[in-house]
Amino acid sequence: YSLDGLVVFGLLLVCTCAYLRKVPRLRSWLLSERRGIWGVCHKAAVIGTRLHVAVAVSCLLMAFYILVGK
């Protein structure tokens, strides 16, 4: 386990949940619950949609770090 792996997992979770929030059927089916594991997905989707610029920049920086820095 490493910190960069945890950051990659978090970024992928936020990006995936934000994408699923844009699909109407999946939004009502998956992201309507606000407690439990689906609540985590709901909160990640909210973070991804509200902070989309920061999440995109973080994804680019992490990709650059993994490809070049590691």
User: What secondary structure does DSSP assign to 16-38, as a single string?
Assistant: HHHHHHHSHHHHHHHSS--SHHH
Structure tokens at 62: 């992490």
Show the domain range for 44: 1-69
Q: Looking at per-residue confidence, does 27 or 6 come out higher?
A: 6
- For the chain, what is the domain count? 1
- pLDDT-derived band at 58 (thresholds 50, 70, 90) equals very high
What average pLDDT does the segment 23-41 reach?
78
State pTM to two decimals.
0.82
pLDDT of residue 62: 93
